[in-house]
Amino acid sequence: MGSTLTAAPGTWGPIGVALAYQWSADGTAIKDATRSTFDLDPNLAGKAITVAVTGTKAGYTTATKASKATAQVALRQFTTPPVPTISGTVTVGSTLTAIPGNWGPVDVLFQYQWYRDGTYLPSATDPTYQLTAADLGKRISVLVEGSKAGYDHYPMTSADTAKVGSTIKRVTPAAPTSVAATGRYTVPSSEGVFYQVNGISKAAGTYASGYTKMNIIALTKPGYTLSGTTSWVLDLSKKPVAATAPSINYTDKSITLPRTTGVDYSIDGVLKAAGTHKVTTYATVTAKASAPNYTVAAKTWKYDLRTAVTPTKPVFSASANTVKIPAKTGVTYYVNNVLKKAGTHKYTGSGTITTKASSGSYKLTGTTSWKFDNRNAVTPTKPVFSASANTVKIPAKTGVTYYVNNVLKKTGTHKYTGAVTVTTKVSNGSYKLAGIQKWTARL
């Protein structure tokens, strides 16, 4: 039942034979069942299935072949049905109720048959049965048969009740308990009582609620009647909680986390208790649910509790070729990207001083970098040109190198004829040129 049958037509020849199909149940053709496959449905239970294959081809006689019949189509089976139970007081005049339990799949129809000491009662076919004087001293049971189209009928019989009496015992059912944080609830063990949770019978024990609302009722076992509270609602659904923003004291450099039920706070990823915490850096506060039974909308707050500091400008001396780094709390100084301590440092060239905060507790404001030029200014001495001697005399000048027609020349007299251009450059990074730096002549 619910399966698909497939026709295997065999080999027809010659090639090009067109095949048609007709499925039948117990020899009767099934309407619209003309494909090579056939899906079984509940109405075919108990019937044998055949398929006829008809081959046609132009110029050939049409032929039809029928398959052997299948076994009778079997009915589906229910998932393991529960044993029915009986609720009510087992005394004359009381009404017993059959509780079939949770059958599957859905939409199962039930039929009932009540028994007295194992003998069926012809007219007792309702879900309830009222005890009469004839039942006194007898044991009652009920047979519950589930049925559904396409499924085999399945009878299940309850256990016998205690002997029907004329008196009953009054009991007060124990109350179920729960733990909100874990979402679990406990069905107690209570004399003469069984419990249903959201309409399903539950044995004594602890269960997960899935964080939902649980409606629990107490029902009597035969021979008992209830007093006191017999129903409870355990609301274990998750509780929405709004996270309150922390309070900030920029003077004291502190963050105060509120005490909010259902909310945990973290500072920079570290869980913190409610209260005031010292923070001197750029901090991120996050809030999340403290337990699975709470829901908290994600919240994040960012605070800058760093101390603002303005770097002191260094002192530059070109004549002494020095840079004096000041001592400033919260500031570190770098000369040409090299960390330098406070004090006077020798520099004969040019460069840049930059600053950084010395730790995450500080942030810089104002000017944070300076350029300096401690090179010695030098004015090149003019070369001596002699047109009559066809010579150029390169002078000796500290800090200056000379080039004649782009060729480096040492101090001294050099022979040249024709156009001559003398240029100059500094000899190293400790110098910078001033004055006239280029001369031309024709020798």
The residue ranges of every structural domain in the chain are 4-66, 85-167, 170-235, 240-305, 308-374, 377-442
Give CA–CA dist 422/394, Å, rounded: 9
257-277: pLDDT as tens digits: 999 999 999 999 999 999 999
Give CA–CA dist 273/266, Å, rounded: 8
* C-alpha closest to that of 215 among 201, 228, 196: 196
One-letter amino acid at 68 equals K
3-state DSSP: the chain helix, strand, coil percent, rounded to 5?
A: 0, 50, 50
Question: Which tokens belong to 54?
Answer: 């008809």
What's the pLDDT score for residue 319?
A: 84
Question: Which tokens belong to 224?
Answer: 């008992």
Query: Is the sign of the CA dihedral 193, 197, 202, 203 positive or negative?
Result: negative
Give CA–CA dist 110/125, Å, rounded: 10
How far, rounded to the nearest angstrom, does the alpha carbon of residue 264 sit from its chain's CA centroid?
19
pTM: 0.49
What's the pLDDT score for residue 2?
A: 58
According to DSSP, the β-strands at 119-120 and 128-130 are: unpaired
33: left (phi over 0), alpha (psi -120 to 50) or beta: beta
Phi, psi of 378 (to 5 degrees): -135, 135
What's the pLDDT score for residue 75?
A: 66
Give CA–CA dist 396/42, Å, rounded: 117
- What class has domain 85-167? mainly beta
Measure the N-to-C terminal CA separation of the chain; round to a whole number of Å: 119
What's the pLDDT score for residue 10?
A: 85
Question: Which tokens belong to 59?
Answer: 């110029």
Find residue 392's DSSP bridge partners: 385, 414
Residues with Cβ within 8 Å of residue 349, at least 6 apart in sequence: 374, 375, 429, 430
What's the pLDDT score for residue 78?
A: 63
Give CA–CA dist 390/392, Å, rounded: 7
Where the chain has pLDDT below 70, the residues are 1-2, 42, 73-75, 77-78, 106, 167
* C-alpha closest to that of 95 among 87, 83, 107, 84: 87
